[in-house]
A and B are shown apart, each in its own frame.
Chain A
Amino acid sequence: MNYTDFLKMIPEAVLTAILVITFICDFASARQTERKWMNPLVSVMFAALTVVCLLPMAPVHAFGDMYVTSSAVNVIKAILAFGSLIVVLQSRSWAEASGKEGEFYMLLTSTLLGMFVMVSAGNFLMFFLGLEMASVPLATMVAFDMKRNESAEGAAKFILTATFSSGVMLYGISFIYGACGTLYFDDVRHTLMTVIASGDLTKVFLPVMGLVFFFSGLGFKISLVPFHFWTADTYQGAPTTVTGYLSVISKGAAAFTLLSILFNVFTPMDRYWHVLLMIVVVLSITVANLFAIRQGELKRFMAFSSISQAGYIMLAAIGDKWPTSVSALSYYILVYVVANMAVFSIISVVEQNNGGKTDIDDYNGFYQTNPKLSFLMTLAMFSLGGIPPFAGMFSKFFVFMAGVDGSDIHTTMGAWSYAVVFIALLNTVISLYYYLKIVKAMYIKHNDNPLPTFNSDNNTKFALALCTTGILLFGICSYVYDWISMAA
Chain B
Amino acid sequence: MFDYAFLILLLPFLSFLLLGLLGMKMPKKVAGIIGTCVLAVLFGLSLYTAYHYFFYTGEYEAMKETFHVVNGRLDGGQGVYPTVTVFNFTWLRFTELLTFNIGFRLTPISVMMLIVITTVSFMVHIYSFGYMAERDENYKAEGYEKGFQRFYAFLSLFTMSMLGLVVATNIFQMYLFWELVGVCSYLLIGFYYPKHAAVHASKKAFIVTRFADLFFLIGILFFSFYVGTFNYDMNVTPGLTEKLTAIAANPALQWVLPTALFLMFIGGAGKSAMFPLHIWLPDAMEGPTPVSALIHAATMVVAGVYQVASLLPIYIQFHATEQLHWIAYIAAFTAFYAAAVACAQRDIKRGLAFSTISQIAYMLVALGVCTSLEGEGSLGYMASMFHLFTHAMFKALLFLCSGAIIVIIGSNFKDYMGGLHKYMPITNICFLIGTIAISGFWPLAGFFSKDEIVDACFNFAPALGWFMTLVSGMTAFYMFRLYYVIFWGQSYYELDPEHRRRPQEVPFVMWGPLVLLAIISCVAGWIPFGHFVSLNGLPEEIALQHFEFGSTAWFSLLAATIGFGLATWMYAGKKQPVADALERTFPKLHKAALNRFYIDDAWQFFTHKIVFGCFSIPIAWFDRHVIDGTFNFLAWGTNEAGESIRPWQSGDVRQYAVWFITGTVALTLVLLCLV
Contacts and interface: CB of A to CB of B under 8 A. Distances in A.
Interface stretch (A50-58, A79-87, A208-216): A208-216
Contacts of A430: 638
Interface in B81-110: 90-92
A31 interface: no
A208 B659 contact: no
Of the listed residues B91, B642, B651, B655, the one surrounded by the most CB atoms of chain A closer than 10 A to its CB is B642
A229 B91 contact: no
Question: For chain A, what secondary structure do more than half of its interface residues adopt (helix, strand, loop), or is it mixed?
Answer: helix
Given A157-B653, A216-B660, A290-B645, A276 B91 contact: no
B664 A216 contact: yes
Interface in B357-394: none
Contacts of B648: 229
Interface string A199-224: 00000010011011101100010000
Nearest to B631: A429
Contacts of A275: 670-671, 674-675
A226 B92 contact: no
A161 interface: yes
A478 B657 CA distance: 43
A227 B659 CA distance: 8
B660 A227 contact: yes
Contacts of A161: 653, 656-657, 660
Contact of A212 (B635, B651, B671, B674): B671
Nearest to B635: A433
A216 B667 CA distance: 10
Given A160-B653, A168-B660, A216-B663, A294 B92 contact: no
B625 interface: no
Interface string B641-661: 111011011010101110111
Interface string A292-314: 11100000000000000000000
A351 B659 CA distance: 33
Contacts of A478: 90-92
A117 B526 CA distance: 75
Contacts of B649: 229, 232, 291
A368 to B, nearest CB: 20
A164 B659 CA distance: 12
B663 A227 contact: yes
A233 interface: yes
Contacts of B661: 168
A212 B643 contact: no
A378 interface: no
B639 interface: yes
A251 B548 CA distance: 80
Given A220-B660, A478-B92, A279 B653 contact: no
B119 to A, nearest CB: 31
A168 B674 CA distance: 23
B652 to A, nearest CB: 9
Given A164-B657, A293-B638, A226 B671 contact: no
A147 interface: no
A271 interface: yes
Nearest to B644: A290
B645 A276 contact: no
Of the listed residues A211, A212, A279, A291, the one surrounded by the most CB atoms of chain B closer than 10 A to its CB is A212
A292 B667 CA distance: 24
A227 B664 CA distance: 9
Nearest to B639: A293
Contacts of B642: 290-294
A294 B668 CA distance: 31
Contacts of B664: 168, 212-213, 216, 227
Nearest to B89: A478
A328 B670 CA distance: 28
Question: For chain B, what secondary structure do more than half of its interface residues adopt (helix, strand, loop), or is it mixed?
Answer: helix
A105 interface: no
A294 B646 contact: yes
A40 B585 CA distance: 88
A161 B664 CA distance: 14
Contacts, number: 85
Contacts of B645: 287, 290-291
B141 interface: no
Contact of B641 (A165, A215, A226, A290): A290
A313 to B, nearest CB: 19
Q: Place the interface of chain A in its size category.
A: 35 or more
Contacts of A229: 648-649, 655-656, 659-660
A276 B670 CA distance: 9
A160 B656 CA distance: 10
A230 interface: yes
A23 interface: no
Interface string A276-287: 100110000001
A454 interface: no
A280 B91 CA distance: 34
B660 A272 contact: no
A376 B672 CA distance: 48
B607 interface: no
Interface in A327-385: none
B411 interface: no
B662 interface: yes
Given A216-B660, A226-B659, A290-B645, A209 B668 contact: yes
A276 B641 CA distance: 24
A433 to B, nearest CB: 8
A230 B660 CA distance: 10
A212 B664 CA distance: 7
Contacts of A164: 657, 660
A212 B657 CA distance: 16
Contacts of B671: 208, 211-212, 272, 275-276
A293 B636 CA distance: 11
Contacts of A230: 653, 656
Contacts of B670: 275, 279
Interface in A160-175: 160-161, 164-165, 168
A294 B642 CA distance: 6
Nearest to B658: A229
Interface string B416-442: 000000000000000000000000000
A232 B651 CA distance: 9
A157 B642 CA distance: 23
Contacts of B659: 226, 229
Contacts of B643: 294
A115 B642 CA distance: 34
A212 B660 contact: no
A148 B37 CA distance: 60
A212 B671 CA distance: 9
A208 B638 contact: no
A130 B675 CA distance: 32
Interface string B144-182: 000000000000000000000000000000000000000
A293 B645 CA distance: 12
29 contacts: A156-B653, A161-B653, A168-B660, A208-B671, A208-B672, A212-B664, A213-B664, A213-B668, A216-B663, A225-B663, A226-B660, A226-B662, A226-B663, A227-B664, A229-B648, A229-B655, A229-B659, A230-B653, A272-B671, A272-B675, A275-B674, A276-B671, A287-B645, A290-B645, A292-B642, A293-B639, A294-B642, A433-B635, A478-B91
Interface of B: 90-92, 635, 638-639, 641-643, 645-646, 648-649, 651, 653, 655-657, 659-664, 667-668, 670-672, 674-675
Interchain residue pairs A-B with the least CB separation, the first 5: A226-B663, A229-B656, A290-B642, A293-B642, A216-B664
Given A212-B671, A216-B667, A229-B655, 18 more contacts: A157-B653, A160-B657, A161-B660, A164-B660, A165-B660, A168-B660, A208-B672, A209-B668, A211-B671, A213-B664, A213-B668, A230-B656, A233-B651, A272-B675, A287-B645, A294-B642, A294-B643, A294-B646
Interface of A: 156-157, 160-161, 164-165, 168, 205, 208-209, 211-213, 215-216, 220, 225-227, 229-230, 232-233, 271-272, 275-276, 279-280, 287, 290-294, 430, 433, 478
